[in-house]
A and B are shown apart, each in its own frame.
Chain A
């Protein structure tokens, strides 16, 4: 059942600039991860996205949280009930 998600994560990692991807549910439970992002990041990622969403009153507006560092950017976004984080190196 999770084959489609696993395949999608593998396809995402094929992008040379992407070094990590993580998918969690609303409670921070890890649904799938690859590369530099792993289980332990699930909680932080989901909470960051949730807190960012509370900055706006519009429920349809899903903000993107960017953590910028000298080892690439981590972009976090919520879509529906899942939260996705992508660790991308600066190109």
Chain B
């Protein structure tokens, strides 16, 4: 076998084409072309086998590594368990919507970065509360007359 633009047949595996072009064969000559067809067929088979062998050596079988220690039956059982648990969770989550908590603001960082409540505001609130309390304490029962009276018959 050879590759393009050379008649060198001992270049090594690194440059050897996977599927050799029979028209470029320099040493095989016309003998193979006019030779027996079965031998050509077996040659191709051998080449295919060698290609497959080389590919199999470089393949890493991930599925073989992952499924170590887990049987198919156990795998299916676990998958079913997880899916039922997820269904239950999804149902409870969907029941919790709608959320009844109102959203105080759409810009929380702005509110958090705003000025703190001033001490004067707190003092004003205390004063308002104290006045309200004194106003409430003025609400009292004003007894004008007896509630229970004697009927004289």
A interface residues with partner B (beta carbon < 8 Å): 1-2, 4-5, 7-9, 12, 21, 23, 31-32, 64, 66-71, 73, 75, 77-82, 84, 86, 88, 90
Contacts and interface: CB of A to CB of B under 8 A. Distances in A.
Interface stretch (B16-24, B73-81, B106-114): B106-114
Contact of B133 (A2, A7, A69, A80): A80
Nearest to A70: B105
Contacts of A1: 138-140, 142
Grouping DSSP codes into helix (H, G, I), strand (E, B) and loop, the B interface class, with mixed when no group exceeds half, is helix
A82 B136 contact: yes
A35 B79 CA distance: 58
Nearest to B137: A80
B110 to A, nearest CB: 6
B122 interface: yes
A77 B133 contact: no
Given A1-B139, A75-B125, A84-B125, A66 B132 contact: no
